[in-house]
Amino acid sequence: REDYIEKAKYLAKKLIDLKVDVGEIARELFEQLIETAKDYWKMILDNLREVKESAAENASYADENPKTELGKKL
C-alpha cells in the first residue's frame, strides 16, 4: 500500500514536471468513474427488481394454503 502512495507521488511529480494538465485528465477519469458507477448501480437495481418480482410471485403461492387443500381432499 505504501508503494502505491509513493508511486502516485512520483507520477504526480513527473506530470507536473512535464507540464501536463492534470485537471483535464482528472476530469476525464472522473467521468469514466461516473459511467462505471452508473452501470454498476443499474445492474444492482435490475437484480433487486428481479428478486422483488420473485418474492412477489412466491408470496402469491404462499396465499394458497396447501394444508387446507390437502385437508379437504382427505
Question: Residue 65's pLDDT is what?
Answer: 59
Banded model confidence at residue 68, pLDDT cuts 50, 70, 90: low
Half-sphere exposure of 1 (CA within 13 A, CB side): 0
**Stated pTM of the model:** 0.42
Instruction: Write out the three cell numbers for 65.
Output: 394454503
Model pLDDT for residues 10-66, shown as the tens digit of each residue: 888 888 888 777 788 788 888 888 888 888 888 998 988 888 888 777 666 655 655
Q: Which residues does 25 contact at the CB level (< 8 Å), separation at least 6? A: 15
12 neighbors 22 (Cβ within 8 angstroms): yes
Instruction: Write out the three cell numbers for 20.
Output: 501536463
